[in-house]
Amino acid sequence: MCGIAGRLNFRTGAPVDARILRGMGDFLAHRGPDGEGLWHQAAVGLVHRRLAVVDLSDAARQPMTGEDPRVWVVCNGEIYNFRELRATLEARGHRFRTQSDTEVLLAAYAAHGVECLSRLRGMFAFALWDGGRRRLLLGRDRTGKKPLYYRLDGDGIAFASEPKAFLADPSFEATPALEALSDYLTFHYVPAPGSAFAGVHRVPPAHYLLVEDGQVRLERYWRLHFLPKRQPSEEDAAAELLARLRDAVRCRLVADVPLGAFLSGGIDSSAVVALMAEAGAAPVRTFSIGFEESAYDERPFARLVARQYGCEHHEFVVRP
């Protein structure tokens, strides 16, 4: 979990206030304990709070620029297929100076522009400034695992991983959105693109927001398709499900830091732990939350799975 934020004064062209940018980063400090970065130039600025997972070196710090020094990016999350993308981009002549997935994102944008989004597999939210085209691109992953909020005002657009970052700007009025309160009481969450604050919106899952030539455009780049309908045998369906689960777990094991799994003892988390062990992530570090009330306590089931796969198991108990 990293934190990203920034601002573009595309309506007035006024210089961004570096103090406000730093304040936005301070509000997001809890999202990234491993480093911080700020880049600004005239009417645009980017902020990053880093949680280092892939390529822990200083060369992978953000905001990051690549082969084109006019293009800068901040990214929260992971691009799981960055190694495959990197190999393809290297074959096209792109060169890399880090082992990070963020630099691959920069090269993918250089090669494919906005269409690079359809090639990314992962959980991510990023902000990319293309100084050559005077273009700001905000992108969010297909299912919206990583958050990205934005607000428009008289000068331009501000964006951040959490709305609280906007409190760094004295001009921001933290007014509640009453329709969001109604949504929350009805659904127990606020549906996208709304938020709890009036005037603050979310980039929806599988969408990008483009600011270019004074225009703001929100576009969908991916959609889940349910057709054509298939009727595989139970055996074939089970085999395909297992293959897809193996692939999903495998691509998430790419990291330069220790990995763990939250283990409840249920079917889904137990399957993830089993496939982590099968993929060679040994010993798998597992973590379980228990309760003193036995009717709600799932720790015995988690222990069974942890023993089966030789996990380094940790338990915590939640009390009032």
> CA 289, 275, 264: angle at the middle one, nearest 5?
15
| DSSP state string for 185-207 | HHHSS--TT--SBTTEEEPPTTE
* DSSP H helices in 101-253: 101-112, 178-187, 234-251
67 CB-contact burial (10 Å; exposed 0-12 / middle 13-18 / buried 19+): middle
For residue 32, the SS3 value is coil
Only one residue has tokens 């993929």, namely 279
* Element at 24 (helix H, strand E): helix 18-27
How many Cβ atoms are within 10 Å of 258's Cβ, its own excluded? 8
Indicate which residue of 2, 75, 116, 311 is catalytic: 2
Three-state DSSP at 86 gives: helix
For the question of residue 2 being annotated catalytic, the response is: yes
Which residues are the active-site residues?
A: 2
